[in-house]
């Protein structure tokens, strides 16, 4: 099955890639290939910034096909015709089918093919019906933001990769999906969570909009990086300054899962998890923040680029993804 190719965004990104058959990807010769999990809105900066960051690190990318479950019904445009609530989240029955059967009886194997790593980008809230312990939606009308088709595709793609030890890395929503798949608990609304804890919240994790139609930029904050982690191998242990943040949900805890916390931030006594890793996998990492946003701000000379992590630090994360993972893949293939 053909993948949606980077040339669809050529006017923006000027990158070519070629998909051949089920498991062969032929980009520019000698370049590692990064797969980006499917999403319909390829004009989103959560997607385009990741593409630019991969290119800056010397890699090529392809966007993977939408992964669909054989347990659900879709129309010709890939939209679900059942199992969706009026909020566009998955209903309980559809979510249970996805959780129980995971990637089995889906096109996940064909979609992932032979890419060296799969990246999961930021975006909508994850249907709370997909949680290990399903929950009702948070009830905040102005924060309704679900995408049932993407939830299914991401969940199935993630479980396929984890079951086959294919390297994955998630950013923001991607970290949350890695955590949901792994059985972690989720904070459905960070401001509400702070209020429940009796702590003041200054929107350190996502700026408030000045007006309903205004652009909401990333909120920069520091992250404490644990030593002896993959993240510390990327950027060093200690304080990582100016991490671009844009989320109102977060991973609450990783108790009784195979995840370990490798980065966090504290605000008024409340700890928010900023990085997790699956210790039972070769490479399964989640970051709650957006290093790709900092990198692109520096690349494009944004006036506020200095408010965020420096270019070299942001680039080092994607160089690790592109170079280290590619070298490990070559070593495995040669063994």
Domain assignment of residue 214, yes or no: no
User: What tokens does 68 get?
Assistant: 């669909």
Domain limits at 73? 6-184+275-334
Residue 267 domain-assigned (yes or no) = no
Q: Is residue 107 part of a domain?
A: yes
Which residues on adjacent β-strands are paired with residue 90? 84
- Residue 176 to residue 187: CA distance in whole angstroms: 10
The answer to whether 17 touches 9, Cβ cutoff 8 Å, is: no
- Distance, CA of 285 to CA of 120 (rounded, Å): 10
Tens-digit pLDDT profile for the chain (335 aa)?
Answer: 434 434 333 333 333 333 323 334 444 456 778 999 999 999 999 999 999 999 999 999 999 999 999 999 999 999 999 999 999 999 999 999 999 999 999 999 999 999 989 999 999 999 999 999 999 999 999 999 999 999 999 999 999 999 999 999 999 999 999 999 999 999 999 999 999 999 999 999 999 877 777 788 999 999 999 999 999 999 998 999 999 999 999 999 999 999 999 999 999 999 999 999 999 999 999 999 999 999 999 999 999 999 999 999 999 999 999 987 666 666 666 66
Spell out the residues 6+ positions from residue 139 whose beta carbon is closer than 8 angstroms to its own: none
In a domain, 286, yes or no: yes
Helix H, strand E, coil C: the string for 59-120 is: CEEEECCCCCECCCCECCCCCECCCECCCCCECHHHHHHHHHHCCCCECHHHHHCCCCEEEE
The reply to whether 220 falls in a domain is no
Domain assignment present for 54? yes
Q: Is residue 70 part of a domain?
A: yes
Which CATH number characterizes residue 109's domain? 3.40.50
| Residues near 305 by beta carbon (within 8 Å), at least 6 away in sequence | 294, 297, 298
| Residue 211 within a domain | no
Global pTM value: 0.90
The domain tally of the chain equals 1
């Amino acid at each position: 099955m053909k993948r949606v190719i980077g040339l669809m965004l050529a006017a923006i990104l000027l990158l070519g890639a070629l998909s051949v058959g089920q498991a062969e990807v032929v980009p520019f010769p000698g370049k590692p290939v990064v797969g980006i999990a499917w999403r319909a809105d390829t004009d989103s900066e959560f997607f385009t910034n990741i593409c630019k960051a991969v290119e800056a690190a010397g890699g090529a990318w392809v966007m993977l096909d939408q992964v669909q479950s054989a347990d659900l019904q879709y129309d010709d445009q890939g939209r679900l015709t059942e199992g969706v609530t009026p909020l566009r989240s998955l209903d309980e029955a559809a979510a249970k089918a996805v959780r129980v059967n995971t990637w089995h009886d889906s096109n996940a194997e064909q979609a992932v093919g032979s890419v060296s790593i799969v990246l999961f980008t930021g975006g909508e809230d994850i249907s709370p019906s997909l949680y290990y312990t399903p929950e009702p939606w948070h009830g905040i009308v102005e924060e309704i933001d679900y995408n049932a088709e993407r939830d299914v595709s991401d969940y199935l793609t993630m479980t396929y990769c984890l079951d086959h030890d294919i390297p994955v890395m998630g950013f923001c929503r991607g970290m949350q999906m890695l955590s949901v798949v792994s059985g972690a608990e989720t904070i459905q609304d960070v401001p509400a969570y702070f209020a429940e804890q009796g702590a003041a919240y200054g929107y350190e994790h996502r700026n408030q909009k000045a007006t309903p139609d205004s652009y909401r930029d990333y909120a920069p904050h520091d992250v404490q990086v644990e030593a002896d982690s993959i993240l510390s191998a990327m950027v060093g242990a200690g304080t990582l300054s100016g991490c671009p943040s844009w989320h109102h949900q977060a991973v609450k805890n990783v108790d009784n899962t195979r995840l370990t916390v490798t980065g966090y931030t504290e605000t008024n006594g409340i700890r928010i998890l900023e990085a997790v890793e699956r210790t039972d996998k070769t490479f399964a990492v989640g970051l709650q923040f957006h290093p790709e946003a900092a990198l692109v701000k520096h690349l494009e000379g944004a006036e506020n680029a200095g408010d965020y992590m420096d270019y070299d630090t942001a680039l080092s994360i994607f160089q690790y993804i592109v170079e280290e993972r590619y070298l490990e893949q070559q070593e495995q293939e040669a063994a």
